[in-house]
């Protein structure tokens, strides 16, 4: 029988690559099912696999959750505890930009291809009358490169996933300054299951919610940078999707 395939949103922290493989092994033992973990280097490649119906389980970013739920029929299973997706706007430490009001037309923005971070980041700078038409956007491959563009003064403003910003080394963060952080709270990554996985959805949910109490579960969570899982209802997910649609 062909194994199920699980994947993870490409914006997860590289430090946790091993943790997701450990989690996949642990999950197979808990469910008694063969699950293959496939990691993609970028969102476009991952979306192509989703379009071909090759994905059964996905730890999805909020932006892609909308497409997965509404177009592909995925069901929300769980979300990480106490881990909302917040966005940090940062500038070089010596930048004359002190508040959003100091941002002007022509601002050079460094960012990755992380869709929900970019959506929220652009929403945040609307208060300074900035948009895609009057800013200069530079796309880079990682948040480390966003930081590098800032301290090398090739960009005036950087968009970061909050977790990614705080995971930067002290040396790097000392060359940057937080201009503003979002406080949305309800936007988060979610674990979704495809219609092909329907027979195992309830078992999977029970397994995740009880993970800290199961054999080696807490250690696996630690390796992923998570403290635990909470139930993510379909209603919760629809509310988040509606909010993301409002931000677009």
Instruction: Look up the CATH number of the domain holding residue 43.
Output: 3.40.190.10
Question: Do 71 and 96 sit in the same domain of this protein?
Answer: no
| pLDDT tens by residue, the chain, 248 residues | 789 999 999 888 788 899 999 999 999 999 999 999 999 988 889 999 999 999 999 999 888 898 999 999 999 999 999 888 899 999 999 999 999 999 999 999 999 988 889 999 999 999 999 999 999 999 998 999 999 999 999 999 999 999 899 989 999 999 999 999 999 888 899 999 999 999 999 999 999 999 999 999 999 999 999 999 999 988 889 998 888 887 76
Question: Do 37 and 14 sit in the same domain of this protein?
Answer: yes
Question: Do 57 and 105 sit in the same domain of this protein?
Answer: no
- The predicted structure's pLDDT at residue 216: 94
Among 181, 204, 233, give the residue marking a domain's end: 181
- The predicted structure's pLDDT at residue 33: 95
Residue 116's CB is within 10 A of a number of other CB atoms, namely 25
Task: Let me know the angle formed at the C-alpha of 211 by 35 and 25, rounded to the nearest 5 degrees.
Answer: 25
- The predicted structure's pLDDT at residue 126: 92
Q: Residue 156's domain spans which residues?
A: 87-181
CA distances from 23 to 18, 29, 201 (A): 9, 10, 17
Q: Measuring CA to CA, which residue among 241, 209, 219, 212 is closest to residue 62?
A: 241
Question: Do 144 and 198 sit in the same domain of this protein?
Answer: no
Question: Do 128 and 242 sit in the same domain of this protein?
Answer: no
Question: Do 72 and 93 sit in the same domain of this protein?
Answer: no
Q: Measuring CA to CA, which residue among 196, 195, 218 is closest to residue 208?
A: 218
Among 162, 181, 200, give the residue marking a domain's end: 181
Question: Do 70 and 153 sit in the same domain of this protein?
Answer: no
Question: Do 77 and 17 sit in the same domain of this protein?
Answer: yes
Question: Do 61 and 16 sit in the same domain of this protein?
Answer: yes
Mention every residue, 6+ apart, whose C-beta is less than 8 A from residue 17: 39
C-alpha 9/C-alpha 102 separation (Å) is: 34
Question: Do 176 and 191 sit in the same domain of this protein?
Answer: no
Distance of CA 53 to the CA centre of its chain: 21
Assigned token pair, 234: 């379909």
C-alpha 192/C-alpha 237 separation (Å) is: 10
What is the SS3 assignment for 8-72?
Answer: ECCCCCHHHHHHHHHHHHHHHHHHCCCEEECCCCCHHHHHHHHHCCCCCEEEECHHHHHHHHHHH
C-alpha 10/C-alpha 151 separation (Å) is: 25
Question: Do 95 and 174 sit in the same domain of this protein?
Answer: yes
pTM of the model: 0.83
Question: Do 8 and 129 sit in the same domain of this protein?
Answer: no
Among 181, 205, 234, give the residue marking a domain's end: 181
Q: For the chain, what is the domain count?
A: 2
- The predicted structure's pLDDT at residue 248: 65
- The predicted structure's pLDDT at residue 185: 83
């Amino acid at each position: 029988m062909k194994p199920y395939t699980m994947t993870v949103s490409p914006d997860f922290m590289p430090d946790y690559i091993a943790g997701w493989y450990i989690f996949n092994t642990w999950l197979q033992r808990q469910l008694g099912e063969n699950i293959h973990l496939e990691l993609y280097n970028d969102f476009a490649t991952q979306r192509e696999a989703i379009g071909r119906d090759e994905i059964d389980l996905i730890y999805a970013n909020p932006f892609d959750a909308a497409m997965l739920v509404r177009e592909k029929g995925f069901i929300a299973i769980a979300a990480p505890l106490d881990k909302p997706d917040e966005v940090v706007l940062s500038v070089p430490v010596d930048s004359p930009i002190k508040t959003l009001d100091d941002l002007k037309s022509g601002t050079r923005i460094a960012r990755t291809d992380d869709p929900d971070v970019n959506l929220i980041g652009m929403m945040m700078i609307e208060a300074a009358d900035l948009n895609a038409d009057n800013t200069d956007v530079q796309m880079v491959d990682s948040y480390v490169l966003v930081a590098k563009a800032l301290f090398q003064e090739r960009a005036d403003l950087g968009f970061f996933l909050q977790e990614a910003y705080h995971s930067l080394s002290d040396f790097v963060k000392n060359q940057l300054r937080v201009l503003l952080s979002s406080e949305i709270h309800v936007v988060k990554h979610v674990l979704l299951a495809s219609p092909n996985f329907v027979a195992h959805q309830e078992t999977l949910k029970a397994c995740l919610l009880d993970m800290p109490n199961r054999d080696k579960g807490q250690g696996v969570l630690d390796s992923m940078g998570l403290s635990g899982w909470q139930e993510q209802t379909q209603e919760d997910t629809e509310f988040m999707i509606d909010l993301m649609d409002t931000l677009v």
